[in-house]
């Protein structure tokens, strides 16, 4: 929802990754930002209107990004998508950092930094295969950013490290970094940063993107 500079950039980025994209905006002229090569659906309307969402294909969606210019519209749309259509993979752009932290506590991931909004939303919705946050000069070790499956919430960092076979040097929680210890519990909305050898990245991403294995 929202076809400003961030929304248009995000839509094109998803298409480059092979995803099917629908874009909602109240102003049809905004769709010009998508360019002539965009092959997705465009729907004129208010993004928190249920009929508009259905027309955009929300019932078959794997994720929803609310990136319009209004905080209230973004959070309302995100809540409608979650509560009415049962889609958990939702993120909202919020300009007010204070309000963003409140919504994080309500279980709706948000992005408050305008400059990096498109990149951060993309990483939250499609964390697998994302570019590393850092890599060594030789290109053998990297720091990767991961969004863990909700079923990992409440698990100890020590247990998660054991499952993925590598260290978690820090987390991002409510927009602030923290260095966890073995007993730290993962909370909803936490972003996990893992240190990994290149050949272990696929395994780590597959483990954290799925529920923990039952023993």
Residue 107 sits in the same domain as residue 90: yes
Tens digits of residue pLDDT in 180-190: 999 999 998 88
Residue finishing a domain among 77, 97, 125: 125
Residues 162 and 108 in one domain: no
> 138-155 pLDDT, tens per residue?
668 888 888 788 899 999
The predicted structure's pLDDT at residue 115: 42
Cα–Cα distance measured from residue 160 to residue 156, given in angstroms and rounded to the nearest whole number: 6
pLDDT of residue 174: 84
Contact at 8 Å (CB) between 193 and 171? Answer: yes
Q: Which of 125, 157, 172 is the endpoint of a domain?
A: 125
Q: Which domain holds residue 188?
A: 134-208
Give residue 146's pLDDT: 84
pLDDT of residue 98: 67
Q: How far is CA 2 from CA 70, 89, 94, 160, 197, in A?
A: 9, 17, 13, 36, 37
User: Which stretches of the chain score pLDDT less than 50?
Assistant: 115
CA 121 to CA 126: how far, in whole Å?
8
* 93 and 151, same domain (yes or no): no
Q: Per the structure, how many domains does the chain have? A: 2
- Give the domain CATH number at 195: 3.30.70.1450
pLDDT at residue 1, rounded to an integer: 97
The answer to the question of residue 215 being in a domain is no
């Amino acid at each position: 929802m929202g076809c400003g500079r961030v929304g248009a950039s995000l839509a094109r980025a998803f298409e480059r990754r092979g995803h099917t994209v629908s874009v909602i905006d109240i102003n049809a002229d905004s769709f010009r930002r998508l360019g002539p090569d965009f092959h997705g659906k465009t729907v004129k309307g208010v993004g928190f209107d249920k009929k508009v969402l259905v027309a955009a294909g929300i019932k078959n969606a794997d994720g929803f990004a609310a990136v319009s210019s209004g905080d209230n519209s973004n959070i309302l749309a995100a809540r409608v998508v979650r509560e009415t259509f049962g889609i958990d993979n939702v993120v909202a752009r919020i300009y007010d950092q204070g309000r963003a932290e409140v919504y994080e506590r309500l279980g709706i991931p948000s992005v408050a930094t305008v400059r990096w909004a498109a990149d951060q939303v993309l990483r939250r919705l499609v964390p697998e295969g994302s570019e590393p946050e850092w890599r060594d000069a030789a290109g053998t070790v990297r720091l990767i950013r991961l969004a863990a499956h909700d079923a990992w919430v409440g698990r100890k960092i020590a247990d998660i490290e054991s499952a993925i076979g590598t260290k978690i040097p820090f987390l991002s929680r409510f927009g602030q970094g923290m260095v966890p210890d073995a007993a730290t519990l993962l909370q909803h909305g936490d972003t996990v940063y893992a240190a990994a050898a290149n050949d272990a990245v696929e395994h780590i991403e597959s483990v954290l993107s799925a529920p923990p294995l039952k023993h």
